[in-house]
């Protein structure tokens, strides 16, 4: 009998909900409440998954090629670079270090000219600080170990120049001297491979052998600098300062937060703003729950009075009407979570299909660091969004239910 008394408010609330759905107007408002909550939850999960995808691609794709941190010579090349590499690797938190030669020039093929940042690397060293080898063939990567002036281009840059593997291109470099009238010199290179990172890097970066690059840059036995790979991305700024300040050679110190940090900040800002906006959308949808419950209370005043005279407590009346709002909110949250998770799981494929269908590009590699819309679904995002939306609907449910519990039977009857 005790169990029946405890379940009675829930049973009455469920009957009130079924009776409310018989009224078409109230049923429409109730349905719009479910749809509003579901859409808010689904869109919030979808956007958060897209932001997770951008953050993943920033870490795993862009920062796989862009150095975590690097020390670059200011005036004279670094000749004793093995000692600098050894000192960098001895610093706690540094995974590996490798030398590089950086050359900025113009690649020319016929009448087409494109700016390029040419990086001279040693493949056996570069593999420890960069994942660039993942985005090119083994033959292309091994060609960088040859002393000949080979060139591995980004696929987009090769298409812009109209070259393929085996073609020769001209690299225009400024002559020694600070005078703008000094002119330029030409270096011929053979395209030995292509890499496809997808995004802006493909259009601006190329690789060659370290020795060949040093010869082209007239550095002798020296290099332009040393780059490091950090265990913790956010610890890279402090690591490069610790290493650089201990060197006697004049150096320019930089890290990924200076070159690419704005991308990470933008992702976090958009994530926060989107979360706030869509929570407000769920809150607006919850007003429909308030409206439907208020009308239900006005419609059920006689039933409430009868239940009160039969001995039901105010808490029982409160629970009966809370059940209606809780069921509506929970249904919206479940539908929204399922729909949002499904769309987030297939977001990249859906966007690729839409791009193919309409012949448009949502993300251009000329502007963004990737040319596709990524997505990464996290279970904690689904759980937190659903829980937050449910709590908002629960708060919205409480006030009409509280008003119902305060009705006086004598005044109603």
pLDDT, one tens digit per residue, over 208-235 is 999 999 999 888 889 999 999 999 888 8
pLDDT at site 76: 87
* Confidence category of residue 2, pLDDT binned at 50, 70, 90: very low
pLDDT at site 1: 41
Q: What six digits make up the tokens of 34?
A: 């479910």
Same structural domain, 242 and 134:
yes
Res 177 pLDDT > 60 = no
Q: How far is CA 303 from the centre of its chain?
A: 53
Question: Average pLDDT, stretch 153-169?
Answer: 91
Tell me if residue 370 falls in helix, strand or coil: coil
Same structural domain, 165 and 288:
no
Q: How confident is the model over 60-77, as pLDDT tens digits?
A: 777 778 888 999 998 889
* Confidence category of residue 54, pLDDT binned at 50, 70, 90: confident
- How much of the chain exceeds pLDDT 90, in percent? 26
Same structural domain, 321 and 353:
yes
- How far is residue 364's CA from residue 50's CA, in Å, rounded to a whole number? 16
pLDDT at site 71: 93
Burial of 83 per CB tally in 10 Å (0-12, 13-18, 19+): exposed
Same structural domain, 148 and 235:
yes
Same structural domain, 340 and 243:
no
Same structural domain, 50 and 136:
no
CA distances to 108, 169, 193 from 166, in Å: 15, 10, 8
Same structural domain, 327 and 199:
no
Q: How confident is the model over 20-30, as pLDDT tens digits?
A: 555 566 667 67
* Confidence category of residue 102, pLDDT binned at 50, 70, 90: very high
Radius of gyration in angstroms for the set of CA atoms belonging to the chain, rounded to a whole number = 32
* Confidence category of residue 3, pLDDT binned at 50, 70, 90: very low
Long-range (24+ apart) CB contacts under 8 A made by 96-99 are: 96/128, 96/129, 96/228, 96/229, 97/129, 97/226, 97/227, 97/228, 97/229, 98/122, 98/125, 98/126, 98/128, 98/129, 98/130, 98/226, 98/227, 99/125, 99/210, 99/223, 99/225, 99/226, 99/227
- How far is residue 400's CA from residue 320's CA, in Å, rounded to a whole number? 11
How many helices (H) and strands (E) the chain has is answered by 17, 9
Residue 228's domain comprises 67-258
Strand blocks (E) in 168-256: 168-174, 184-195, 205-209, 225-230, 251-255
- For the ranges 4-13, 332-341, 393-402, the lowest mean pLDDT is seen at 4-13
Burial of 337 per CB tally in 10 Å (0-12, 13-18, 19+): buried
Same structural domain, 88 and 17:
no
Q: CA angle at residue 124 from 147 to 83, to 5 degrees?
A: 95
pLDDT at site 83: 92
Same structural domain, 305 and 348:
yes
- For the ranges 19-33, 151-165, 372-386, the lowest mean pLDDT is seen at 19-33
Return the closest-CA partner of residue 224 out of 215, 237, 233. 215
Q: Which of 109-118, 175-184, 383-392 is modeled with the greatest confidence?
A: 109-118
| Domain stop point among 233, 258, 283 | 258
Question: Average pLDDT, stretch 77-104?
Answer: 92
Question: Average pLDDT, stretch 253-257?
Answer: 89
Same structural domain, 243 and 304:
no
Q: How confident is the model over 259-295, as pLDDT tens digits?
A: 887 777 777 787 788 778 777 777 777 777 777 777 7
Same structural domain, 133 and 246:
yes
Question: Average pLDDT, stretch 358-375?
Answer: 72
Same structural domain, 191 and 139:
yes
Q: Which of 102-111, 273-282, 308-317 is modeled with the greatest confidence?
A: 102-111
| Domain stop point among 200, 232, 258 | 258
Question: Average pLDDT, stretch 348-367?
Answer: 76
pLDDT at site 375: 87
Structural domains of the chain, count? 2
- How far is residue 160's CA from residue 305's CA, in Å, rounded to a whole number? 79
What value does the mean pLDDT of the chain take?
82
Q: Whole-model pTM above 0.75? A: no
**Residues present in the chain in total:** 413
Pair 106, 115: CB distance under 8 Å: yes
Find the farthest-apart pair of alpha carbons in the chain and give their distance in angstroms, rounded.
Answer: 102
| Domain stop point among 193, 223, 258 | 258
């Amino acid at each position: 009998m005790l169990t029946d008394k405890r379940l009675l408010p829930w049973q009455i609330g469920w009957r009130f909900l079924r009776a409310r759905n018989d009224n078409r107007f109230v049923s429409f408002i109730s349905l719009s409440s479910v749809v509003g909550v579901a859409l808010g939850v689904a869109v919030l999960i979808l956007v958060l998954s897209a932001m997770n995808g951008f953050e993943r691609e920033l870490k795993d794709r862009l920062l796989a090629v862009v150095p975590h941190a690097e020390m670059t010579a200011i005036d004279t090349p670094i000749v004793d670079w093995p000692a600098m590499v050894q000192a960098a690797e001895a610093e706690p938190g540094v995974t590996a270090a490798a030398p590089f030669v950086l050359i900025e020039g113009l690649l020319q093929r016929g009448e087409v000219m494109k700016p390029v940042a040419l990086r001279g690397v040693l493949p056996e060293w570069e593999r420890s600080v960069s994942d660039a080898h993942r985005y090119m063939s083994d033959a292309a990567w091994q060609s960088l170990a040859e002393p000949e002036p080979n060139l591995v281009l980004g696929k987009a840059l090769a298409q812009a120049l109209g070259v393929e593997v085996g073609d020769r291109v001209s690299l225009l470099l400024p002559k020694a001297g600070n005078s703008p009238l000094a002119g330029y010199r030409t270096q011929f290179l053979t395209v030995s491979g292509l890499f496809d990172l997808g995004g802006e890097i493909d259009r601006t970066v190329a690789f060659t052998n370290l020795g060949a690059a040093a010869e082209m840059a007239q550095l002798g036995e020296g290099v332009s600098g040393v780059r490091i790979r950090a265990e913790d991305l956010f610890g890279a700024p402090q690591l490069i300062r610790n290493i650089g300040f201990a060197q006697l050679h004049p150096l320019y110190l930089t890290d990924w937060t200076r070159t690419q940090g704005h991308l990470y900040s933008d992702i976090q800002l958009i994530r926060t703003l989107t979360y706030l906006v869509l929570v407000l959308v769920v809150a607006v949808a919850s007003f429909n729950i308030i409206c439907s419950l208020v009308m239900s209370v006005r419609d059920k005043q006689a039933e409430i009075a009868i239940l009160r005279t039969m001995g039901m407590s105010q808490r029982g009346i409160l629970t009966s009407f809370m059940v209606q709002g809780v069921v509506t909110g929970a249904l919206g949250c479940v539908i929204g979570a399922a729909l949002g998770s499904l769309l987030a799981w297939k977001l990249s494929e859906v966007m690729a299909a839409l791009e193919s269908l309409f012949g448009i590009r949502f993300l251009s590699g000329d502007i963004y660091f990737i040319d596709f819309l990524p997505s990464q679904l996290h279970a904690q995002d689904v759980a937190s969004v659903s829980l937050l939306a449910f709590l908002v609907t629960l708060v919205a449910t409480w006030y009409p239910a509280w008003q119902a519990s305060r009705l006086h039977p004598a005044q109603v009857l």
